Amino acid sequence: MNNPLPQGATIGILGGGQLGRMLSVAASRLGLNTHIFEPGANPPAGQVAQWVTMASYDDGEALRAFAQSVDVITYEFENIPMSALDIIEDICPIHPGRQALAVSQDRLSEKEFLTGLGLKVAPYADVTNAEQADVAVARIGAPSILKTRCMGYDGKGQMRLKQASDMPAAWQAMAGSASVLEGFIDFSHEVSVIAARASDGQVACFDPGENVHRDGILHTTTVPANLTTSQRMDAVLIAAKILNKLNYVGIMGVELFVTADGFIVNEIAPRVHNSGHWTQNGCDICQFEQHIRAVAGWPLGDGVRHSDIRMENLIGDDMDRLPELRKTNAALHLYGKLEVKPGRKMGHVNFRS
């Protein structure tokens, strides 16, 4: 391991949401400082980080000053404009690197990358205009899902097709955004692997978690997932293959569909992941600390799990349950967001069994 960051060094984090907040808390436990770069006012991470720059991603001067003030840069979301990366990359190392961002920003590149590795993905077709939409649905069929190639998250930017004749309306709803049509996978359940890779190539994966979504948003993650020992091994090997190919440094979330014919990779996220929040109370070293260790050039923890956990997201009005939850021994993680909005992630709870 070359040049681990010393005590008092500063990690720059692009994005100031709850993931940036929990990364900052982990960094501070390790004696490291954080500096958040975030366009929005009063970011959740700003309440716990040492410094916050509030500026937009096209403010070159602010990006340069930010990059000069930190020792390494990481991010909490994958939609960093490449133009921002061009500026900061010349000044300061950024982990995970450009290739991981490029691959995961665009569903089409992501699927091409994954199939290039010999991994299975849902059948897919590129859709950039109405004619291609017709060709795609003739090839992929229905049921299927039309997804925007870029900027989709939590089920947003997706239209489900029950039958082929739903395509024109679905394409119209995309308002011209380049998309992919994905065949509908008949999966039994969804799992994700939270995997870490250090700068010397060491890989450590957390136990796969089983995910349940509600209205397109992650609702619960349960560990252990319902998987056989060999499935568990396969899932971890898939994640390691992806990380190694990208020469990756940091945490990645790898979402998998479990089918009778094996795993299908749904998507990858080059950052700490909501389905890894259980690690905060299920492992000695959680995903946030593991990510900080990786980007700081420190050795990784082994990721071993000491408890069975069910993580439940607190979304919107779920915050009404707070008075009851406070009376229990469940581990509450609240994001310091004062305004409750429908669909807004306000916190999560880890129930240990």
Positions that interact with ligand AMP (CB under 6 A): 122, 145, 152, 155, 182, 184-185, 190, 213, 216, 255, 266-267
- Pick 215 or 284: Cβ nearer ligand AMP: 215
Burial readout 318-338 (b: 16 or more C-beta within 10 A, e: otherwise): bbeeeeebeeeeebebbbebe
Host H or E run for residue 137: helix 130-140
Q: Which is nearer to ligand AMP, 38 or 182 (CB)?
A: 182
How many other CB atoms are there within 10 angstroms of residue 262's CB atom? Answer: 13
Instruction: Give CA–CA dist 137/161, Å, rounded.
Output: 9
What's the closest the beta carbon of residue 122 comes to ligand AMP, in angstroms?
A: 4
| Nearer residue to ligand AMP within complex by CB, 185 or 309 | 185
Beta carbon of residue 341, minimum distance to ligand AMP (angstroms, whole number): 20
CB of 326 to ligand AMP, least distance (A): 30
Q: Closest separation between CB of residue 15 and ligand AMP, Å?
A: 18
CB of 232 to ligand AMP, least distance (A): 20
Residue number with CB closer to ligand AMP (185 or 249)? 185
* Region for residue 4 given its phi and psi (left: phi exceeds 0; alpha: psi -120 to 50; beta: otherwise): beta
Angle, alpha carbons 36-39-44 (nearest 5°): 55
The amino acid at residue 47 is Q
* Cα angle: 82, vertex 88, 91; to 5 degrees: 150
CB–CB of 207/199 below 8 Å?
no
Q: 142 burial class (0-12, 13-18, 19+ CB within 10 angstroms)?
A: middle
Instruction: Rank residues 122 and 137 by Cβ distance to ligand AMP and give the closer one.
Output: 122
Residues with Cβ < 8 Å from 346, sequence gap 6 or more? 314, 315, 316, 318, 319, 334, 335, 337, 340
- Angstrom distance (rounded) from CA 309 to CA 302: 18
Comparing CB distances to ligand AMP, the nearer of 266 and 279 is 266
Smallest distance, ligand AMP to C-beta of residue 331, A? 25
The residue among 51 and 184 lying less far from ligand AMP, judged by its C-beta, is 184
User: Nearest approach, Cβ of 145 to ligand AMP (angstroms)?
Assistant: 5
**Which of these, 56, 62, 57, 55, lies nearest to 84 by C-alpha position?**
57
Nearest CB to ligand AMP, comparing residues 85 and 146? 146
- Secondary structure of 285-346 as H, E, C letters: CCHHHHHHHHHCCCCCCCCCECCCEEEEEEEHHHHHHHHHHHCCCCEEEECCCCCCCCCCEE
Smallest separation (angstroms) from ligand AMP to the CB of 124: 8
